[in-house]
Structure 1
Amino acid sequence: MNSNEISINHRKIGSNHPPYIIAELSANHNGSIDTAIKTIKMAKEMGADAVKIQTYTADTMTIDCDKEDFKISDGLWDGYSLHQLYQEAHTPYEWHEQLFSYAAEIGITLFSSPFDETAVDLLETLETPAYKIASFELTDLPLIEYVAKTLKPMIMSTGMANLTEIEEAITCAQQAGCKELIILHCISAYPAPAQESNLATIQDLARRFNVIVGLSDHTLSNTVAITATALGACVIEKHVTLSRENKGPDCEFSLEPFELKALCNETTIAWQALGNAGYELKPAELQNKKFRRSIYFVEDITENTIITKQHIRRIRPGFGLAPKYYNDIIGKKTSQAIKRGTPVAKHLIK
């Protein structure tokens, strides 16, 4: 994996640090700023590093039109028009200042996905510490360029994008001034089938583009995210909700509080377990080394006795010579009288 490192609000992100956990609020506020605030508080208490919101209005996202092009015909939002969905799901611009202030007050990072230039302008007035480009906007190169010119850290999701589109987005961001870039592997299905996660892509992205890579995960458990961490994902993004019983637009594939806490804990353990390649004795092994096999005298014998297989055995514990010396010892003479249960040592053999 690459050794790149960036910081968002002084939290270092990279392979030498625990995974950065982003709790995606999305539309799970269900139109209530109180619910949004409670969700931010929950994310902080459960151990997330950041909360992400989305900055758009129905009219900046699409137009109000009844043509078939603008209607959703399957999935969680079957029957909605795009305008209806975004009208219901958006986080009102007038909430943003209060949400940013509250997050700062309780000590958790808050940033957002802008969906057009007016959203970027709003977020700049709020001094957002970073930006996220959603999968569906990865091909909107003018938006990516506009965000990159803020010189803030950028996170970009790759759902649905082919290799050429990913390369174009990365090149666009970097040429427009972005120096701190994270790419999130993503499957844009809601929920996403775990068997289609293709997590091997994480390491391929890191090799191809020499950027920090993570996972935006829409599967229904934490298993995929934990596996991604073991493959080098430095960032994990998951949708969260106070309760799936709230039936918000994204609730079906969102984590409840105890699940978010488990995600934070388990991905950290997975990252810790990676460690470094090496074969030195680990601290946890020290006490057990004495229980290895070694060579012991198993009979009382006198000085100058020729050692035979009846006199010695390879047994536990491990205070004698290593078993590899067994055949060398057979036929040698003892240098002194020896009691049964004495570990074989070089000074006891002529």
Structure 2
Amino acid sequence: MEKLIINNRPIGSGEKPYIIAEIGSNHNGDMNLCRQMIDAAVLSGVDAVKFQSWSAGSLISLTEYSRNTQYADKKKHFGSLLEMVERYQFTPQQHKEILHYCKEKGMTFLSSCFSKEEVDLLESLAIPAFKIASMDINHIPLLEYIGGKGKPVILSTGMATLGEIERAVNTLKKNGSGPIALLHCVSIYPPAYNTIHLKNIPMLQMAFDLPVGFSDHTLGTAIPLAAIAIGACIIEKHFTLDKEMDGWDHAISANPNEMEIIVREGCNVFTSIGSAVRTVTDEEEEKRKKFRRRIVIRQPMKEGEVISFGDIDYKRPGTGIHPDEFRYVIGRQVNRDFEADEWLEWSDLK
């Protein structure tokens, strides 16, 4: 299974999980807020921040704009759809500004691309990998164009059948894509727990022989950590400074404390997975001596008496003759006198 390399960081089997803070449009069009979010992401320890490269003209048709002129939910929406898209779009100049800020902070900049023009923009900025959103898994012309750039690709699979995933992977490979990673994803915000099906992660690994991660839209930290436990090598999670902030995705995003938990505990979960080879650590070997039992003489015995099953008991510590060695004790003579509850040693036997 080929690994991805993003800014010298290997991603795939045997590597600690790669954590992406999905800022997306949670900057709300405010670049000061955007920089604050990057600062918080740096402190949380994530590997990358990710944005969305679309414009008012590249993603949504005029007919769709005309159908969505007002919304009842004023927390997530203001004005018309067009007004929101124009406010939240990430302009070419903002791309350059925020990429520069990420470099200053030592943070990897990633972005989802939604048109050929935005692919070219990201390519001109020398981004290390392309991210393809779930909605574009059947956008064959876009996949062909991205594949032709020869860079690593992270492909989300929300809403897609296995056949659609296979076609997308083959399209990218046929056009010269770099290494590919898939993200299991449920494109509902947030999804019901019984729809998440984390077992898709090892299934996709087996089906496509590719690294597989998880694009998470759940609330809290439990499910992304569970995804790591089942083999996810990437976690992509929406990120905000405040879940109560107005905007599209703040309510389902991780705040800085939650993201720090995902990073820290995700690393602990990954380390704890370890190997399927059964081992006893040196620390456990020492613990055996304290916690296990040894054979003791149950009641007083005289030198020369023969030990019967009723003459022995099993008590801590776990040094000396072990309980599973009792068969080699029964029927043998003791070569000294014993008080009750005394340890029996091999040297005490004839």
TM-score normalized by the length of structure 2: 0.92
Sort the Cα spacing of 1:57 and 1:300 in 2 relative to 1 into closer, same or farther, 3 A.
same
Deviations 1:184-234 (A, max 9, x none): 000001122222111111110000000000000001111111111110000
Q: Where does 1:79-118 land on structure 2 (aligned, <5 Å)?
A: 83-118=82-117
Q: How much has 1:47 moved relative to structure 2?
A: 0.7
Sort the Cα spacing of 1:178 and 1:338 in 2 relative to 1 into closer, same or farther, 3 A.
farther
Write the distance in 2 (CA, Å) between the matches of 1:308 and 1:66. Answer: 90
Sort the Cα spacing of 1:258 and 1:208 in 2 relative to 1 into closer, same or farther, 3 A.
same
Write the distance in 2 (CA, Å) between the matches of 1:166 and 1:78. Answer: 32
Sort the Cα spacing of 1:100 and 1:78 in 2 relative to 1 into closer, same or farther, 3 A.
closer
Sort the Cα spacing of 1:116 and 1:42 in 2 relative to 1 into closer, same or farther, 3 A.
same
- Quote the sequence identity (%): 34
Where does residue 324 of structure 1 map in the other structure? Answer: 324
Q: Which moved more, 1:90-99 or 1:162-171?
A: 90-99
Q: Is 1:227 paired with 2:223?
A: no
Write the distance in 2 (CA, Å) between the matches of 1:91 and 1:57. Answer: 7
Q: How much has 1:111 moved relative to structure 2?
A: 1.1
1:28 to 5, 26, 29: 26
Partner-residue secondary structure (3-state), 2:248: coil
Q: How much has 1:341 moved relative to structure 2?
A: 4.9
Where does residue 153 of structure 1 map in the other structure? Answer: 152
Q: How much has 1:69 moved relative to structure 2?
A: 6.9
Partner-residue secondary structure (3-state), 1:132: strand
Q: Where does 1:35-54 land on structure 2 (aligned, <5 Å)?
A: 35-54=33-52
Asked if structure 1 preserves the Cα contact closer than 8 Å seen for 2:244 and 2:251, the reply is no
Please list every run of 5 or more consecutive structure 1 residues that lacks an aligned counterpart in the other structure. Answer: none
Write the distance in 2 (CA, Å) between the matches of 1:263 and 1:211. Answer: 23
Q: How much has 1:347 moved relative to structure 2?
A: 3.1
1:6 to 4, 7, 18: 4
Deviations 1:87-118 (A, max 9, x none): 33322221011111111111111111110000
Deviations 1:59-108 (A, max 9, x none): 01122226887789899868986544433332222101111111111111
Letter in 2 for 1:27: S
**Number of equivalent positions:** 348
Q: Where does 1:1-350 land on structure 2 (aligned, <5 Å)?
A: 4-65=2-63, 83-290=82-289, 291-338=291-338, 341-350=341-350
Write the distance in 1 (CA, Å) between the matches of 2:62 and 2:339. Answer: 95
Write the distance in 2 (CA, Å) between the matches of 1:68 and 1:302. Answer: 102
Asked if structure 1 preserves the Cα contact closer than 8 Å seen for 2:76 and 2:246, the reply is no
Letter in 1 for 2:34: A
Letter in 2 for 1:314: Y
